[in-house]
Amino acid sequence: MENEFFKNRLNITRRHFFGQAAAGIGGLALGSLLVPDLFKGDASAQSLPLGVAHFAPKAKRVIYLCQNGAPSQYESFDYKPMLNKMAGQDLPDSIRGTQRLTGMTASQDKFPLVGSYYNFKQHGKSGTYISEIFPHIGSIADDICVIRTMSTDAINHDPALTFLQTGAQVGNRPSMGAWMSYGLGSENKNLPAFCVLLSRGRGNGQGVYSKLWTNGFLDSTHQGVVFSSSEDPILYLNDSDGIDKAGRRRMLDQLAALNHEGFAENKDPEVEAKVQQYEMAYRMQTAVPELTDLSKEPDHIIKMYGPECLVPGTYAANVLLARKLSESGVRFVQIYHQGWDSHGNLPKEMAMQAEDVDRSSAALITDLKQRGLLDETLVIWGGEFGRTNYCQGKYTVDNYGRDHHPRAYSIFMAGGGVKAGTVYGETDELGYNVIKDPVHIHDFHATVQHLMGINHEQLTYKHLGRRYRLTDIAGNVLPGLIA
């Protein structure tokens, strides 16, 4: 009788009905796995990030090793023997053209060319030229893609670093990590999607500031969370004396209830963001202490990164912590290492800086690779602009400085769908101008977002009547960088 009802009324059998229903339930299950809070149904779910990539990503996470202060490409990854041959000769006007100068060298009568103090040699099957002060990075040459033709619009540190991190030279724009958090969310509910680590080298430093990891006009839940090298990795995270876990939970529940009432009245999204941040901090109280305890790493890992990795706040310790954060599902980990601003005494300062970062930078890539994580983790290494091929101030063979040069400089990337064992782009024989395959900052951002499965033109946010994006109104994905 029941079967006859289904046949007559719906023209389907009961077996067919339940078969189709099962397929729908499977689709719901898949959706809940892709976006865990998709069917949560409360107010907080409505303010969650988009959560799903626009297309299949090559990378799931980013570790950005920002070398703040601008390391010289001529002593690292852009081998220019002609500079050594022409050392002391004045930079030809035909090469410099209308390139602007900083106030530090604009008054110079001469611009004597200066070659690298260090030797270069080819590494790996790729034969990539890398300076002798980066032997460990040289040992992984076949795992990295060296980009020799980066260019930027800014010639001074503050606007250049801001531009590199936010896509604009002015403040109050969301940083790369904030955009990733907004677009893709976090893979671990107990950790932020965007974490920031700071270290200082032995060279001349340039400061870093919160606008580099700001959420800008996005919800404050997307701001980078800064880890400290102090006894408390995240300040004010732990409960005060006399407050237990149960008491903290009751307090947060009552505070959330008050905030929800306030949101119902004024509809300010920052009220809901605060509730989410309180909840995140509560969950992090358990996750962070274990995560930041590097002493439990096995001996062979400590040996790989170097003994400095057990000293909190060092570059090596931050790089190892970055691996642990990324491995735990943090979407974007940003390290700022200061000290590359070599306007004078470059041979000595650059060697010290390289010694601080070379081993652990290479170890990170090797470690990710041996864990099977490199293919899904994009590692970026580089600064905000390059250095001039001429000397700033008095020139001697073993003591010279280089000024800022935005027109052409070098970085490298690894993993995450990048074409390994390659060199992208070419500069002229004096390393001053790009002659093949330029990479503007907007192109760089577009390509990084593409590797993460994001169409850079579609990830936008409407603010003050205009739709903003990381790449502003420019940027092209560069297929030559993608495997």
pLDDT in tens, 304-334: 999 999 999 999 999 999 999 999 999 999 9
Distances in whole angstroms, Cα of residue 122 to Cα of each of 129, 421, 449: 4, 12, 31
pLDDT in tens, 199-213: 999 887 788 999 999
How crowded is residue 207: how many other Cβ atoms within 10 Å of its Cβ?
12
Helix (H, G, I), strand (E, B) or coil at 328: coil
DSSP letter assigned to residue 204: -
Q: How far is CA 140 from the centre of its chain?
A: 20
Are 341 and 403 in contact by the 8 Å Cβ rule? The answer is: no
Region label for 66, one of left (φ > 0), alpha (ψ between -120 and 50) or beta (otherwise): beta
Are 272 and 262 in contact by the 8 Å Cβ rule? The answer is: no
**pTM confidence score:** 0.84
Q: Residue with structure tokens 């300010």?
A: 268
CA angle (403, 431, 348) in 5-degree steps = 45
Q: What are phi and psi of 449, to 5 degrees?
A: -65, -35
Give me the amino acid identity at 408.
Answer: A
Q: How far is CA 107 from the centre of its chain?
A: 36
The pLDDT, as a whole number, for residue 99 is 86
Separation between Cα atoms, residue 411 and residue 318, nearest integer Å = 20
Separation between Cα atoms, residue 415 and residue 419, nearest integer Å = 8
Sign of CA dihedral 62, 54, 373, 231: positive
The pLDDT, as a whole number, for residue 205 is 74
CA angle (318, 321, 326) in 5-degree steps = 120
Helix (H, G, I), strand (E, B) or coil at 392: coil
Q: How far is CA 365 from the centre of its chain?
A: 14
Helix (H, G, I), strand (E, B) or coil at 473: coil
Distances in whole angstroms, Cα of residue 111 to Cα of each of 35, 44, 394, 409: 57, 59, 10, 19
Separation between Cα atoms, residue 75 and residue 60, nearest integer Å = 32
What residues of the chain score a pLDDT lower than 50?
1-2, 5-9, 37-49
Separation between Cα atoms, residue 406 and residue 385, nearest integer Å = 5
The pLDDT, as a whole number, for residue 39 is 47
Separation between Cα atoms, residue 219 and residue 215, nearest integer Å = 7
Name residues whose C-beta falls within 8 Å of residue 132's C-beta, 6 or more positions apart in sequence: 118, 119, 120, 121
